[in-house]
Amino acid sequence: MTKVCIPLFICLSCFFVFAKASPLATSRKGNNTGATVHRGGSELQLHFRHTVKDSTLQLNNVTYTNALGQPYILTKFKYYIGRIYLKSAHGRDYQSEEYFLIDEEEEGSKVIRLQHVPPGEYTAIGFLLGVDSLHNCSGAQSGALDPLNGMFWNWNTGYIFMKLEGRSPASPAPAHLLEYHIGGYAHGYRHMREVQLSLPGLLQIQPGAPAVVHQQRSR
């Protein structure tokens, strides 16, 4: 079994854009997202693990401290991943058009299963963090993109790409809430991010030869 565990730096940069606008500064080393790539036959599994500094993210229970020494807890962490692709020496050999909503509260959502991944030797994995503009302008949709999931702005149409919520005594908002809702697809407000992560060595996908790639990296 080979495993790749990759921190999603892009998540961090989204976080910063909005953290700056807030009176409450949050740690730059605040949250990492780790992804693990498994493989079994032609099914590719991506396992997402969220970390704060070096420990696994825990909602509600753990008080974290940001760079300014301000304590906070986190209560919600959800985000969209879509257009996952695998890159080999020849280019993009596999591209999924599906969107997935990853929710820290739902274990099942943290494992993405991609079917029918063609055999090959892959060097990198990429995806979109957020929702592309076409899907922000396509009207009513189902599945991960169902507005029922609470990741949709009605009054200014568009998906919320990432929600990070919590509480901090340092927050001047009502009930000391922390709410980072990040989205935006229009010109000047494009907040989706292309992420491409090099795999440590080749990921070989062959029928009937299970393997797991694992690598943990931290900032």
Partner 1 sequence: MKNSRALLANLLLWAAGLLLMSLAGDPNTITSKHVAWKTPKGFPPPVYRFKDNPVSPAGFVLGRALFYDPLLSRDSTISCATCHQAFAAFAHIDHRLSHGIEGRIGTRNVPPLQNLLWSNHFMWDGGVNHLEVQPLNPLTHPDEMNETLPRLLAKLQQSPRYPALFAAAYGDTAIRTERVLKALAQFTGLLISANAKYDQYLRHETTLSEQELKGLRLFEQKCSSCHPAPFFTTRGFANNGLPPDSLLQDIGRQKITGRPEDRYQFSIPSLRNVEVTYPYMHDGRMDKLWQVLGHYSRLATDTTLTDARLRAIGPLSANEQVDLVAFLRTLTDRTFLYDRRFIMYP
**Can you give the binding site for partner 1, defined by CB under 8 A?**
136-142, 146-148, 152, 154-158, 189
In the bound state with partner 1, the residue whose beta carbon lies nearer, of 54 and 146, is: 146
In the bound state with partner 1, the residue whose beta carbon lies nearer, of 7 and 158, is: 158
Pair type for strands 120-129 and 91-95: unpaired
CB of 32 vs partner 1, minimal distance in Å: 30
Q: Which amino acid is at 68?
A: L
Count CB neighbours of 109 within 10 A: 15
CB of 134 vs partner 1, minimal distance in Å: 11
In the bound state with partner 1, the residue whose beta carbon lies nearer, of 95 and 189, is: 189
In the bound state with partner 1, the residue whose beta carbon lies nearer, of 81 and 145, is: 145
Count CB neighbours of 84 within 10 A: 22
In the bound state with partner 1, the residue whose beta carbon lies nearer, of 136 and 168, is: 136
Beta strands in the chain (DSSP E): 3-7, 31-40, 43-52, 55-56, 64-65, 71-88, 91-95, 99-103, 111-114, 120-129, 152-153, 158-167, 177-183, 193-205, 211-216
Q: Which of 23, 31, 16 is nearest to 64 (CA)?
A: 31
CB of 18 vs partner 1, minimal distance in Å: 14
CB of 136 vs partner 1, minimal distance in Å: 8
d(CA 109, CA 106) in angstroms, rounded, equals: 5
CB of 138 vs partner 1, minimal distance in Å: 7
